[in-house]
Amino acid sequence: MVVGQRVTARRRYLVPTVMATLVVLLFVNGASGTVLFARAPVDPLAAADAIMVLGGEHDGREAYGLKLAEQGYADTVVLSNPYAASDKTMKKACAPRSDIRVICRPPAPSTTRGEALMARQLADEHGWTSIIVVSWRYHLPRARKIFEQCFVTPERSVIMRDVPRRYPFSVAQWQYTYLYQYGGWVKAEIQGRCD
């Protein structure tokens, strides 16, 4: 009976301890994620050789990249296109234009790293020394890290810009988003430079 009472007593303390630890971890993830990702700094806009729009959801990023080109920030827009051939948004965005050069192609691999490698290849082909990279605000820190590993050189630079929009996420969605970004950051650290 004494052994049974000890096990019951341990369980009584274990559950609150596990719950308290989980609450603390979620608080730390939410607070640090808000500072590092949701409020990530963006770079001031400046003229560049090209605008690189990273893949993701169709949240206005394609139109924003094209608008920046229309405003004179670059004469070339590269749209990462990992989508199906039937994707209506990409068909419209990738349509040839007389005022802007639009390059649409899938990255290989279909990741931010693949997009950085694609940007590097295009920069080598066209002699670009600077690009504007467009993505979600909360993705910018990780994208910056990957582009610094795979694109940036002493001669090449990036300007990181977010899609101008709000994110109506629930607390659970933000928690997942931050965990995902932290995981991607660790993966980028492990993968290292693209040399």
Q: Enter the pTM of the model.
A: 0.86
User: Is position 6 within any domain?
Assistant: no
Write the CATH number for 161: 3.40.50
> What's the number of domains the chain is made of?
1
Task: Please name which of 46, 19, 11 lies closest in space to residue 160, comparing C-alpha atoms.
Answer: 46
pLDDT given for residue 36 in this prediction: 77
pLDDT (0 to 100) of residue 25: 78
Cα 187 to Cα 191: distance, rounded to the nearest angstrom: 6
Please indicate, yes or no, if residue 187 is contained in any of the structural domains: yes
Task: Evaluate whether residue 66 is within a structural domain.
Answer: yes
How much is the pLDDT for 195?
79
| 23 inside domain | no
Query: For the chain (length 195 residues), average pLDDT per consecutive 10?
Result: 59 72 73 80 96 94 97 98 93 95 96 97 98 95 96 97 91 90 92 89
Residue 63 corresponds to which tokens in the numbers above?
């139109």
Asked whether residue 173 is domain-assigned, the answer is: yes
pLDDT at 173: 92
Structure tokens at 137: 């605000």
95: domain range?
50-191
In a domain, residue 9? The reply is: no
> What are the residues whose beta carbons fall under 8 Å from the beta carbon of 65, sequence distance 6 or more?
51, 52, 53, 77, 79, 132, 134
Residue 155 lies in a domain: yes
DSSP for the chain reads: -HHHHHHHHHHHHHHHHHHHHHHHHHHHHHHHHIIIIIT---PPP---SEEEE--S--SSHHHHHHHHHHTTS-SEEEEE--S-TT-HHHHHHTS--SSSEEEEE--SSSSHHHHHHHHHHHHHHHT--EEEEEE-GGGHHHHHHHHHHHT-BTTBEEEEEE-S------HHHHHHHHHHHHHHHHHHHHH----
Residue 18 lies in a domain: no
User: How is residue 28 written in tokens?
Assistant: 């730390």
Q: What is the pLDDT of residue 1?
A: 47
